Amino acid sequence: MPFMKGAAPVRRTKAYLDAGKLIFHEQIKVLTVNYNLDQKSSSGAYEFIFWHFPQIKYKNVTLQMLKFKNMTPTPCIQIFCDNGKKHVVDIYGRSRQEIHDHLLDAFCRPYKPEKTVASLGSFGYHSNHWCVCEIPGQVPCPAFQTLPDDMRGKYKVKKYQEEKEAQENS
Provide the percentage of residues in the chain whose pLDDT is more than 70: 91
User: What's the order of all strands across the beta sheet hosting 76-81?
Assistant: 64-69, 28-35, 76-81, 86-90
The strand pairing partners of 65, in sequence order, are 31
Q: Which residues have CB under 8 Å from 129's CB, separation 6+?
A: 118, 122, 123, 135
Task: Report the pLDDT value the prediction gives residue 154, as an integer from 0 to 100.
Answer: 82
Task: Report the pLDDT value the prediction gives residue 25, as an integer from 0 to 100.
Answer: 94
Q: Which stretches of the chain drop beneath a pLDDT of 70?
A: 1-4, 113-123
Helix H or strand E segment including 46: helix 43-59
The ranges assigned to domains in the chain are 2-107, 132-169
Task: Report the pLDDT value the prediction gives residue 118, as an integer from 0 to 100.
Answer: 46
The residue length of the chain stands at: 170
pTM: 0.63
CATH superfamily of 2-107: Glutaredoxin (3.40.30.10)
Q: Report the C-alpha gap between 103 and 65 in whole angstroms.
A: 14
Task: Encode pLDDT of 33-67 as tens digits.
Answer: 999 999 999 999 999 999 999 999 999 999 999 99
Task: Report the pLDDT value the prediction gives residue 120, as an integer from 0 to 100.
Answer: 55
Scored b (16 or more CB within 10 A) or e, 133-147 reads eeeeeeeeeeeeeee
Q: With 0-12 CB in 10 A as exposed, 13-18 as middle and 19+ as buried, what is 94?
A: buried
